[in-house]
């Protein structure tokens, strides 16, 4: 019985000590007294390359669509992996007219979807000023194929730029046709 009471007393002292404001100072001291076998995972977190021109999950030659976050965890409204922002690179964009750029967008998407008519149905917005690119309503598998087309710089999941109005931005392509 005395043994049980002593254990409770020790347990309550430890609990009070670790939950008191002073314990915040004591815990780092205790941690330093313990031998370290390897690097401290709290102070030196592992970081994988996730930036730079060589990294993009969309650059993966054998994509694994299951490695992206589930749709339920996506935090950007409108990001549904059906609306894609395709950014293109032109050698001399200042020498091209707006119409020539838009025709290049249509031809780029047509190479993947089969025809220019089908491509025009899938393009929902275009931009030739702030950036050179377009929005396309295609599935994730086709987005990987678009990435392999000449002149395509990036293919990114699109999200609303104006959430209340559910607007992806750019100029509506249907109004231009």
Give the start-to-end residue ranges of the domains of the chain: 1-46, 63-176
Residue 173 has pLDDT above 50, yes or no: yes
- Whole-angstrom CA distances from 81 to 66, 74, 119, 134, 141 are 12, 10, 18, 15, 10
Torsion angle, alpha carbons of 54, 56, 60, 66, to 10: 160
Calculated CA dihedral for residues 64, 68, 71, 73, nearest 10 degrees: 160
pLDDT averaged over every residue in the chain = 73
Looking at the domain covering 63-176, what would its CATH class be?
A: alpha beta
Q: Residues near 120 by Cβ (< 8 Å), separated by ≥ 6?
A: 106, 173, 177
Q: Where does the pLDDT of residue 141 fall: very low under 50, low under 70, confident under 90, or very high at 90 and above?
A: very high
To the question of pTM greater than 0.85 for the whole model, the response is no
Closest CA relative to residue 92, chosen from 81, 102, 101, 80: 101
Q: What is the pLDDT of residue 160?
A: 84
In this structure, what DSSP letter does residue 77 have?
Answer: T
User: What is the reported pLDDT for 47?
Assistant: 43
């Amino acid at each position: 019985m005395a043994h049980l009471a002593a254990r409770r007393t020790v347990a309550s002292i430890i609990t009070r000590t670790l939950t008191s404001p002073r314990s915040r100072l004591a815990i780092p001291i205790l941690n330093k007294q313990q031998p370290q076998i390897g690097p401290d995972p709290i102070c030196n977190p592992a970081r994988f390359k996730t930036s730079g021109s060589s990294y993009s999950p969309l650059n993966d030659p054998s994509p694994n669509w299951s490695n992206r976050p589930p749709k339920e965890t996506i935090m950007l409204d409108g990001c549904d992996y059906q609306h894609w922002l395709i950014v293109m690179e032109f050698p001399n964009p200042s020498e091209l007219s707006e119409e020539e750029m838009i025709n290049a967008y249509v031809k780029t998407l047509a190479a993947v979807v089969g025809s220019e008519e089908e491509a025009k149905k899938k393009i929902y917005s275009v931009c030739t000023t702030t950036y050179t690119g377009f929005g396309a309503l295609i599935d994730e598998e086709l987005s990987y194929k678009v990435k392999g087309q000449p002149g395509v710089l990036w293919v990114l999941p699109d999200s609303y730029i104006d959430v209340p109005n559910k607007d992806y931005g750019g100029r509506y392509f249907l109004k231009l046709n």
